[in-house]
């Protein structure tokens, strides 16, 4: 077999031709086997497109599973820690799922598409776990990652852009709701969801319509200063909005090798996701125990003094090391230096005064800063337009 | 944990399944003062220890046919002889049949046969003594709960220490020999020890009966040593229960009743009811419900979790573990009603009541085993035969006889379904026996073939596997039935297991039931 030199082993998303054309930096990363841009032009400009106008992010590589059948809801309720019956038809819900030891396997979103019909979006491949979880249920689990092309359209002018593209009435769509539109004879599903903490939508369509969707979206969005964004810019936005990233802020339990490296929902600040009133779900027994006996770690959002991101920093209480930083960024809109930290209990309660040991270098000169930081109770970026319905348009 | 019956519950313990381990467990619990209700689906107690009339006037031990491991401790504690257990024969010889009448027989450490060289005879005695040392070590870990490897208690650590010490005490040479052979197969072990093919095959059959293994399968040496635990318990050969195996079931039931156990027969449990990870009771097929703070399942683990509890009421990790338990069987059962004593070429009357084995050499068994790998039944199967009526006139009308044979190998499923093959396979089995007892076809007045599917249906064992979970090194001790459900407790609070699918397994030993009862009572104290 001969391999042509310009052929990559990486998978390409349905938007690849358009993404590649827009990728002026030719800066690519690997997202679960798909080649995806880290940045198209300039990370800051892309970030500010999301915050000031509209940023478009290709999220096709997201693992997607279709869950159908009379037991679809019971299946999901046993799988995840929250009560899935509260996600009504036409709504989307955040969810987290655990192994039997109550350790987080992954987080993602559940789309309630129709009666007995759901889509689960996940960070990690989950075929195996979903298969074993399906035994005993009248349910079909079908992976559809490659069958659906998806774009996130995020930012203050996102609604205007999409309405200009022809999605009339979209401004009435509430946060975490779904709507269906006709697009070039195909079904276009739009959810008011995203990973930026701002007004924004995600578009879901058959792969053969992907390029057309991209073209019409960017044509309609030109007056609204639309811009494609890569994963580096999205990273800043999601930290600013307080969203956890699987694989960064926690290691999916099935991927951990060493004992004690996985985390429970309680240890990730996700207690609100755990509904112990549900009689059966994966991890329930262990989580009941943890609730009774206490957790090992506490997730904390830190407001760090200064403007040096506390990447990989140790966190101290006085002279005692009490934790480490998992994600950090200078957040330009909130003008806050934020960090997510894993702190040993009892540290990390809101208002706790700590110190971050930050290392940074300028022209090969390394500097160590001991930056005071404080545990805050909520993410720093959460503008009212995120929740407003009808959505703001300009 | 609260063991006392609250006013809200009917019993202290509900025991699902009146097989031998269920009955043993119930008895020990009742002796300790618990109010126990035992529910058995069949009309007679005993599970695989059962006698059934399969043709007018002809009765047979319908599942297990030999006792060779029943724990003397259980026998004494439950006073089984007072409750009706009698032996029709004990310490029987195993006879390897030969078409030309040159039979070979083994009993205890004695091997005899006209074709047996003096060297093999002596080697066998030494082999028997050495393997008995190993089986004695094995037996020492059977009578207590298996230790846990992780988060083990002092008791678990001591048990592990004892096992390690026991290994060490074998002496350097025997210890390294045990380590060498435990993972190899009977074919190799027999080949390196003996020259006589009949002897090789006869001993191999001890390892293979009731399994889905051939002489060349890994774990077959372990299985052999496991069988030989019977020697440690005082059986130098198979024993036959008077009145058929059902009398063991009846004696166990009588003992249980005397201890205060309430036994309901023909009461099929359709579900073990749980709420929020806690066992609450059971529901019968009739719709009747019982509640108790403790439910003990004497049913095999796969059926217990998959059908009775229901996978949807368990966490995914448990479902995965249970789904991966190997329960496959390669064993069928043949029953023949004969209008006279069968005449095996060269076999004298005294030998007819012994254990008769058709397996001329190991390659014959391996070929018979090949079929089952491809969901076919053996053209020339290996048989473990009991003409029980020779030792026990209760089983057949005077002058007539019953022959029952454990058949290796038959798959759980065959192409086209078993009904399409039943007659053909029965005829093949008769042909096979007729090579050794030429007149047998004319003597048969009735026959019955129980395929693995029939055994599953009649005795409620997943896959028809009478060990409830294959006895292999990865499925014993702290891995039996699966990590997380060792020591008889399960991920469902208040649900315990006591069947052959738990440590130390079945074999009509009764120790799984006894150990489970001890753990349940221990749990009540802590």
Q: What is the pLDDT of residues B311-325, one digit of tens each?
A: 999 999 999 999 999
Residue with tokens 């990363």: A29
| Rounded mean pLDDT, B104-123 | 95
Query: How does pLDDT run across B418-446, given as a tens digit for each residue?
Result: 999 999 999 999 999 999 999 999 999 99
Q: At what angle do helices B118-142 and B220-227 cross, to 10 degrees?
A: 80
State whether B334 and B302 are in the same domain: no
Instruction: Summarize pLDDT for B348-391 with one digit per residue, the tens.
Output: 989 999 999 999 999 999 999 999 999 999 999 999 999 999 99
Distances, alpha carbon A2 to alpha carbons A8, A10, A12, A127, in Å: 13, 17, 20, 32
Same domain, B159 and B224: yes
Per-residue model confidence (pLDDT) at position B289: 96
**Which pLDDT does position B5 carry in this prediction?**
43
Which band of pLDDT confidence, cut at 50, 70 and 90, is reported for residue B3?
Answer: very low
Are B77 and B162 part of one and the same domain? no
pLDDT band at B459 (very low <50, low <70, confident <90, very high): very high
* Residue A303 sits in the same domain as residue A372: yes
Same domain for A164 and A120, yes or no, is no
User: Can you spell out the DSSP letters for A60-73?
Assistant: TTSEEEEEESTTHH
Would you tell me how many other CB atoms lie within 10 Å of the CB of residue A366? 8
Closest-CA residue of B relative to A137 is B312
Percent of chain A clearing pLDDT 90 (strictly above): 97
**In this predicted structure, what is the pLDDT of residue B45?**
97
Structural domain count, chain B: 3
d(CA A13, CA B82): 78
Q: How would residue B506 be classed by pLDDT, with cut points 50, 70 and 90?
A: confident
Most B CBs within 10 Å, among A74, A104, A135, to test the B interface: A135
- Residue A5's pLDDT is 60
Q: Please indicate whether, in this complex, the C-beta atoms of B316 and A285 are within 8 angstroms of each other.
A: no
- B287-298 pLDDT, tens digit each: 999 999 999 999
For residue A7, what pLDDT is reported? Answer: 74
CA distance B316 to B326: 18
- Residue B487 backbone phi and psi in degrees, to 5: 60, 30
* Residue B363 dihedral angles phi and psi, to the nearest 5°: -65, -35
Considering all CA atoms of chain B, what is the largest pairwise distance in Å, rounded to the nearest integer? 71
Average pLDDT over chain A, rounded to an integer: 96
- Reported as type and span, the H/E element at residue B13 is strand B13-16
Cβ atoms of B338 and B403 within 8 Å: the answer is yes
Among chain B residues, the shortest Cα distance to A130 is held by B316
Asked, for residue A352, whether it belongs to a domain, the answer is yes
- Per-residue pLDDT band for B525 (boundaries 50, 70, 90) equals low
In terms of domains, do A112 and A186 share one?
Answer: no
Residues A204 and A82 in one domain: no
Residue among B312, B490, B491, B493 with most chain A CBs within 10 A, to mutate = B312
Confidence band, pLDDT 50/70/90 cuts, at residue B141: confident
Alpha-carbon distance of A16 to B276, in angstroms, equals 48
Residues B79 and B197 in one domain: no
Instruction: Note down the domain range covering B415.
Output: 327-459
Contact A136 B317 (CB under 8 A): no
User: A351 lies in a domain?
Assistant: yes
Q: Give the span between the Cα atoms of A340 and A241, in whole angstroms.
A: 11
Nearest CB to A136: which of B276, B312, B491?
A: B312
Question: Would you state the pLDDT for residue B4?
Answer: 45
Quick one: B487 and B414 in the same domain? no
**Residues A55 and A89 both lie in one domain:** no
State the average pLDDT over residues B83-103.
Answer: 96
Look up residue B404 and give its two tokens.
């029952």
- Backbone phi, then psi, for B267, in 5-degree steps? -120, 95
Best mutation site among B278, B316, B318, B494 for testing chain A: the one with the most A CBs within 10 Å?
Answer: B316
Are residues A193 and A48 located together in one domain of the fold? yes
Report whether A378 contacts A369 (CB < 8 A).
no
Instruction: Give the domain-ending residue among A98, A120, A146.
Output: A146
Please say if the pLDDT value at position A271 is more than 70: yes
Q: Is A39 helix (H, G, I), strand (E, B) or coil?
A: strand
ipTM above 0.95, yes or no: no
Domain with A315, as residue range(s), is 296-383
Q: What is the largest CA-CA distance in chain A?
A: 64
- CB spacing of B315 vs A283 below 8 angstroms: yes
Token pair, residue B183, equals 């993972």
Q: Name beta bridge partners: A120.
A: A65, A110
Q: How is residue B233 written in tokens?
A: 């318990």
Interchain CB contact of A79 with B (< 8 Å):
yes
**Nearest C-alpha neighbor of B518 from the set B132, B155, B100:** B155
Q: Quick check: A322 pLDDT over 50?
A: yes
Q: Residue A98 pLDDT > 90, yes or no? A: yes
pLDDT at position A1, please?
Answer: 52
Domain boundary residue among A121, A146, A171? A146
- Among B205, B232, B259, residue at a domain's last position: B232
Give the mean model confidence (pLDDT) for residues A16-33.
96
The total number of structural domains that make up chain A: 3
**Same-domain status, A81 and A211:** no
Is the pLDDT assigned to residue A282 strictly greater than 60? yes
Our CA-based measurement puts residue A152 at a distance from the nearest CA of chain B, in whole angstroms, of 32
Nearest to A105 by CA among A86, A120, A92: A120
B100 in any annotated domain: no
Pair B46, B23: CB distance under 8 Å: yes
Query: For a pLDDT cut of 70, what percent of chain B falls above it?
Result: 97
Q: Are strands B240-241 and B87-89 parallel, antiparallel or unpaired?
A: antiparallel
């Amino acid at each position: 077999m001969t391999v042509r030199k310009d052929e990559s082993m990486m998978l390409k998303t349905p938007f690849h031709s358009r993404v590649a054309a827009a990728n002026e930096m030719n800066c690519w990363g690997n997202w679960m086997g798909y080649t995806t841009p880290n940045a198209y032009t300039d990370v800051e400009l892309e970030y500010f497109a999301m915050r000031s106008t509209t940023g478009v992010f290709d999220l096709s590589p997201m693992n997607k599973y279709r869950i159908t059948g009379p037991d679809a809801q019971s299946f999901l309720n046993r799988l995840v820690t929250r009560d899935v019956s509260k996600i009504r038809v036409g709504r989307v819900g955040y969810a987290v799922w655990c192994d039997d030891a109550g350790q987080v396997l992954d987080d993602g979103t559940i789309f309630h598409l129709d009666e007995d019909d759901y889509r689960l979006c996940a960070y990690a491949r989950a075929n195996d776990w979903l298969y074993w979880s399906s035994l005993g249920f009248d349910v079909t689990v079908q992976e559809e990652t490659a069958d659906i092309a998806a774009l996130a359209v995020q930012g203050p002018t996102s609604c205007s852009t999409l309405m200009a593209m022809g999605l009339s009435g979209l401004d009435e769509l509430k946060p975490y709701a779904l709507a269906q539109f006709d697009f070039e004879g195909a079904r276009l599903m739009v959810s008011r969801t995203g990973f930026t903490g701002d007004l924004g939508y995600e578009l879901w369509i058959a792969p053969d319509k992907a390029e057309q969707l991209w073209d019409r979206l960017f044509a309609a969005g030109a007056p609204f200063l639309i811009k494609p964004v890569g994963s580096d810019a999205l990273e800043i936005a999601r930290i600013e909005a307080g969203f956890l990233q699987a694989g960064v802020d926690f290691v999916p339990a099935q991927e951990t090798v060493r004992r004690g490296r996985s985390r429970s929902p309680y240890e990730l600040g996700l207690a609100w996701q755990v509904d112990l009133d549900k009689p059966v779900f994966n991890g329930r027994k262990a989580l009941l125990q943890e609730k009774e006996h206490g957790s090992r770690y506490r997730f904390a959002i830190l407001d760090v003094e200064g403007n040096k991101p506390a990447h990989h920093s140790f966190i101290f209480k006085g002279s005692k090391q009490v934790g480490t930083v998992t994600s950090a960024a200078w957040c330009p809109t909130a003008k806050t230096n934020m960090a997510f930290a894993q702190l040993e209990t009892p540290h990390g309660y809101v208002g706790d005064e700590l110190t971050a040991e930050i290392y940074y270098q300028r022209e090969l000169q390394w500097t160590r800063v001991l930056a005071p930081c404080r545990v805050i109770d909520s993410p720093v970026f959460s503008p009212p337009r995120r929740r407003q319905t009808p959505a703001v348009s300009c | 944990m609260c063991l006392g019956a609250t006013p809200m519950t009917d019993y202290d313990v509900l025991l699902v399944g009146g097989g031998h381990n269920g009955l043993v467990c119930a008895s020990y619990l009742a002796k300790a003062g618990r109010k126990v209700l035992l529910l058995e689906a069949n009309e007679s107690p005993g599970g695989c220890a059962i006698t059934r009339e399969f043709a007018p006037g002809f009765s047979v031990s319908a599942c297990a046919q030999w006792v060779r491991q029943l724990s003397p401790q259980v026998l004494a504690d439950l006073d089984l002889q007072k409750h009706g257990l009698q032996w029709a024969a004990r310490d029987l010889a195993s006879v390897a049949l030969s078409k030309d009448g040159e039979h070979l027989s083994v009993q205890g450490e004695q091997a005899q046969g006209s074709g047996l060289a003096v060297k093999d005879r002596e080697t066998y005695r030494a082999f028997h003594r050495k393997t008995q040392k190993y089986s004695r070590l094995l037996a020492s870990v059977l009578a207590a709960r298996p230790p846990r490897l992780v988060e083990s208690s002092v008791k678990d650590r001591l048990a592990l220490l004892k096992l390690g010490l026991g290994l060490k005490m074998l002496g350097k040479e025997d210890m390294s020999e045990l380590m060498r052979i435990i993972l190899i197969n009977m074919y190799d072990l027999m080949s390196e020890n003996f020259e006589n093919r009949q002897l090789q095959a006869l001993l191999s059959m001890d390892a293979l009966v009731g399994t889905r293994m051939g002489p060349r399968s890994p774990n077959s040496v372990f299985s052999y040593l496991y069988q030989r635990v019977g020697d440690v318990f005082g059986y130098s050969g198979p024993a036959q229960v008077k009145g058929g195996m059902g009398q063991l079931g009846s004696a166990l039931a009588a003992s249980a009743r005397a201890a205060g156990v309430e036994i309901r027969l023909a009461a099929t449990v359709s579900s073990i009811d749980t709420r929020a990870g806690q066992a609450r009771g059971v529901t019968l097929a009739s719709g009747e419900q019982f509640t108790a703070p403790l439910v003990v399942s004497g049913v095999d683990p796969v059926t217990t979790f998959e059908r009775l509890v229901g996978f949807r009421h368990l966490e995914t990790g448990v479902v995965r573990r249970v789904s991966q338990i190997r329960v496959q069987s390669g064993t069928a059962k043949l029953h023949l009603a004969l209008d006279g004593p069968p005449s095996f070429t060269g076999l004298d009357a005294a030998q007819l009541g012994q254990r008769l084995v058709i397996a001329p050499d190991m390659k014959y068994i391996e070929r018979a085993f090949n079929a089952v790998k491809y969901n076919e039944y053996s053209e020339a199967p290996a048989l473990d035969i009991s003409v029980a009526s020779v030792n026990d006139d209760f089983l057949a009308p005077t002058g007539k006889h019953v022959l029952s044979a454990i058949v290796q190998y038959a798959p759980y499923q065959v192409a086209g379904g078993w009904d399409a093959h039943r007659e053909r396979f029965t005829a093949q089995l008769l042909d096979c026996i007729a090579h050794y007892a030429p007149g047998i076809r004319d003597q048969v007045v009735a026959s019955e073939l129980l395929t693995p599917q029939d055994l599953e249906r009649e005795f409620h064992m997943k896959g028809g596997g009478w060990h409830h979970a294959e006895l292999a090194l990865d499925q014993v001790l702290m891995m039996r039935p699966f990590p997380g459900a060792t020591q008889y407790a399960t991920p469902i609070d208040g649900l315990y297991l006591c069947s052959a699918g738990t440590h130390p397994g079945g074999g009509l030993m009764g120790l799984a039931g006894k150990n489970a009862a001890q753990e349940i009572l221990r749990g009540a104290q802590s």
